[in-house]
Amino acid sequence: MTVFTNVPLDQLRPGMEAETRRVCLADDFYVFANASGNLNPLHLPREDGDGDGIPEAVAPSMWVAALISSVLGNQLPGPGTLYCAQSLRFVGRAHAGDELIATVTVTEVGDDGVVTLATRVCHTDGTVVVEGEAEVKAPLKPQTFHADDIPGLTVQRHAHFDALIERSEALDPIPTAVVAPEGQNSLGGALLGREHTLITPILVGDADAIRKAADEMGADISDLEIVHEPDHAAAARRAVALVHEGRARALMKGRLHTDVMLSAIVKREGGLRTARRLSHVFVMDVPGLPHLLMISDAAINITPDLETKVDITQNAIDLAHALGIAEPKVGILSAVETVNPRIPSTLDAAALAKMSERGQITGALVDGPLAMDNAIDLAAARTKGITSAVAGRAEILIVPNLESGNMLAKELTFVAHAEAGGIVIGAQVPIILTSRADDDKARLASCAIAALYAARGRSLA
């Protein structure tokens, strides 16, 4: 429990001193930027503010000065204190990762209740960053404040996706047949992937509509190949043919129905089927979660049986390996964490876990059934007495059916502010399914995921 106790006016004496220590975190600078509106790139940890090619991450001076107020408001004089004046002289700089010490020292207690204090923030070696003088109205009565109910903050950054995109940019761009990119959203996703050297788009669809969308966007596509095929079903078949011809190593959905595109992919003759069932994997960057979270299947298989769930699980594991997760932890979800014959998904979950133990599913730790809480929250798992290497640590969630998976993925996106990329795997090449609701980060992430998965396939070939 965090408790702050003040020093009322009648107890204050010159020479009294208090201090606090604080490590400068990158997230602190983002919070300050949002709260103050100061978006100076010198203070934003991932930006190069002076053009020297190196991010500076200089602590904002007023953020450093605000550490003084934390000592005044929490310790000396403490709760009930109000500022009257503050002078500041900035004589040094701090950066992300530095530890700072903020100190206040009472120098005068006035008859009018105004207290003057010398103020200073310095590095642990004594190097001063800011110094000055504060005048405050001290509290008249003793007061104790319990600070445990103060709302916390989660910085909405997507470092996991940033890392994926950075890794994939180092690869050669994959030739990607984009089917019916006949609107600004669908064409924009392909061009964004090209801009970041993730994909080289081959545009398959109505050439006039594609060029019109490019003109509306002010985009130059003169260097891109356009395969004119105005019929969507025929465009999907042509894109599949480009894979067989060796000209494309990935597919990307544009402005056509998913069913139309998939029908060309799953054809027994001339399609892109493999021994595996196709399945979609959402790869999600959830603010506050220390790792990527993968969800499958939320887009292809509506009510998968056990045999299909085996493929869904193995597909997701293979994708996790491509993304750099050597031994992913797979939680098989249900409504409860115990086997109940009246809930078929618990039976499937138990069977999948046992199949993993016996080598029928490989490359991961698999456990189930698990409920959502004890799959991703270690405290919830311990409260329910679940002993497992997966419970509370799951990186892959296998859902009972498409409905539950789709709702889970969208709840994380629109309520928890997660970014969601993803691809369809189980075909001969990765398939990027973009949505009109996707933002730029999600579109880029999907291209990066496809590029990393395709690169892994080439390395294993």
What DSSP letter does each residue of 33-69 carry, written as one string?
A: HHHH----GGGSTTS-SSSSSS---BPPHHHHHHHHH
Query: Is the whole-model pTM more than 0.95?
Result: no
The region of weakest confidence among 8-17, 183-192, 275-284 is: 183-192
Residue 442, pLDDT score: 83
Q: Within a domain: residue 153?
A: no
Is it true that the peptide bond before 297 is cis, omega within 30 degrees of 0? Answer: yes
Q: Are residues 131 and 207 in the same domain?
A: no
Rounded to an integer, the average pLDDT of 35-43 is 92
Cα dihedral 363, 364, 367, 369 in deg (nearest 10): -80
Identify the DSSP state of 10.
G
User: What's the burial of 277, exposed, middle or buried (CB within 10 Å: 0-12/13-18/19+)?
Assistant: buried
CATH of the domain at 107: 3.10.129.10
Q: Assign 98 a pLDDT band (cuts: 50, 70, 90).
A: very high
The pLDDT, as a whole number, for residue 157 is 67
Q: How many CA atoms lie within 13 A of 230 on its CB side?
A: 4
166 and 132 together in one domain: no
Yes or no: say if 108 and 37 are a contact pair by the CB < 8 Å rule. Answer: no
Percent of the chain with pLDDT over 90: 76
Range of the domain at 304: 159-460
The burial of 401, by beta-carbon neighbours within 10 Å (0-12 exposed, 13-18 middle, 19 or more buried), is given as: middle
* Predicted local distance difference test score (pLDDT) of residue 20: 95
Same domain as 314, residue 202: yes
**CA 297 to chain CA mean position, Å:** 20
Segment 220-231, tens digit of pLDDT: 999 999 999 999
- 231 falls within a domain: yes
Does residue 158 carry a pLDDT above 80?
no
Residue 67 sits in the same domain as residue 189 = no
Q: In what order do the strands lie in the sheet with 431-432?
A: 225-228, 199-205, 174-179, 250-253, 431-432, 419-425, 279-285, 293-296, 396-398, 329-333, 365-370
Query: Do 136 and 238 share a structural domain?
Result: no
Q: Report the pLDDT value the prediction gives residue 460, as an integer from 0 to 100.
A: 56
pLDDT digits (tens, 9 = 90+) for 241-267: 999 999 999 999 998 998 999 999 999
pLDDT of residue 461: 46
Q: Are residues 136 and 197 in the same domain?
A: no
Q: What does the alpha-carbon distance between residue 414 and residue 418 come to, in Å, rounded to a whole number?
A: 7
Q: Are residues 93 and 209 in the same domain?
A: no
Neighbours of 278 (CB within 10 A): 23
Rg (CA), the chain: 28
> How do beta strands 365-370 and 329-333 pair?
parallel
The verdict on 299 and 443 lying in the same domain is: yes
* pLDDT confidence of residue 366: 97
Q: Could you tell me the pLDDT band of residue 458, with boundaries at 50, 70 and 90?
A: low
Q: How big is the CA angle at 223 (ends 219 and 227), to the nearest 5 degrees?
A: 95
Poorest-pLDDT segment among 83-92, 157-166, 342-351, 388-397: 157-166
Same domain, 141 and 219: no
Half-sphere exposure of 128 (CA within 13 A, CB side): 10
Do 168 and 65 sit in the same domain of this protein?
Answer: no
Helix (H, G, I), strand (E, B) or coil at 320: helix
Query: Are 341 and 319 a contacting pair, CB within 8 Å?
Result: no
As a whole number of angstroms, the distance between CA 297 and CA 300 comes to 7
Are the CB atoms for 448 and 455 separated by under 8 Å?
Answer: no
Looking at the 3D structure of the chain, how many domains does it have?
2
Same domain, 109 and 215: no
pLDDT of residue 459: 54
